[in-house]
Structure 1
Amino acid sequence: MKILTKRLTIATLSTAALLIPFFGVIPGVPNWGEMTSAITALSSANAQNIQKQPMVKLQLGAEKQVLSKDIQGKTKTTWQALQGQVTVQPGDVLRYTLTGANQSDRPVKNLTFNQPIPRGMVYILKSANANTNAKITYSIDGGRSFVENPRVKVTLPNGKVEEKPAPAEVYTHIRWNFPNAIAAKSAVNGIYQLRVR
Structure 2
Amino acid sequence: MKLVRLLLSVALVGGVALAQQPIIKNGVRFVMAQDLVKASVQGGVRTEDFIQSPRAVQTGDILREEITVQNVKGRAISELTVGIPIPRETVLSGSVTPDSARWKVAYSVDGGRTYSPKPMQEVKAMENSKPVLRQQLAPPESYTNVRWTVANLAKDETLKLSFRVRVK
TM bucket normalised to smaller: 0.7 to 0.9
Q: Describe the superposition over 1:163-191 as per-residue Cα deviations: whole angstroms up to 9, x where unpaired.
A: 22112222111110011x21111112221
Name the CA distance, whole Å, in 2 between partners of 1:59 and 1:88: 21
Which amino acid counterpart does residue 48 of structure 2 have in structure 1?
T
8 A Cα contact 1:57 1:102, kept in partner? yes
**Match for 1:145 among 93, 109, 114?**
114
8 A Cα contact 2:37 2:51, kept in partner? no
Equivalent pairs: percent with the same residue? 26
Which amino acid counterpart does residue 66 of structure 2 have in structure 1?
T
Which amino acid counterpart does residue 142 of structure 1 have in structure 2?
G
Name the CA distance, whole Å, in 2 between partners of 1:6 and 1:195: 13
- How far off its partner does 1:154 sit? 2.1
- How far off its partner does 1:157 sit? 5.7
Q: Quote the residue 1:129 is aligned against.
A: 97
8 A Cα contact 1:131 1:188, kept in partner? no
Identify which of structures 1 and 2 has the higher relative contact order when contacts are C-alpha pairs closer than 8 Å and 6+ apart. 2
TM-score by length of 1: 0.68
8 A Cα contact 1:107 1:182, kept in partner? yes
Q: Quote the residue 1:183 is aligned against.
A: 154
- How far off its partner does 1:155 sit? 2.5
Q: Output aligned runs, 1:1-197, within 5 Å.
A: 6-11=15-20, 13-18=21-26, 55-72=27-44, 76-83=46-53, 86-124=55-93, 127-130=95-98, 133-156=102-125, 159=131, 161-179=133-151, 181-197=152-168
151-160 or 59-68, larger mean C-alpha shift? 151-160
8 A Cα contact 1:60 1:97, kept in partner? yes
Name the CA distance, whole Å, in 1 between partners of 2:23 and 2:38: 32
Which amino acid counterpart does residue 196 of structure 1 have in structure 2?
V
8 A Cα contact 2:72 2:156, kept in partner? yes
Q: CA RMSD in A?
A: 2.2
Name the CA distance, whole Å, in 1 between partners of 2:49 and 2:123: 37
Name the CA distance, whole Å, in 2 between partners of 1:69 and 1:15: 37
8 A Cα contact 2:15 2:56, kept in partner? yes
Q: Describe the superposition over 1:48-107 as per-residue Cα deviations: whole angstroms up to 9, x where unpaired.
A: xxxxxxx321111222221223234x6x24031313x51110010111221111123211
TM-score by length of 2: 0.78
Name the CA distance, whole Å, in 2 between partners of 1:162 and 1:104: 46
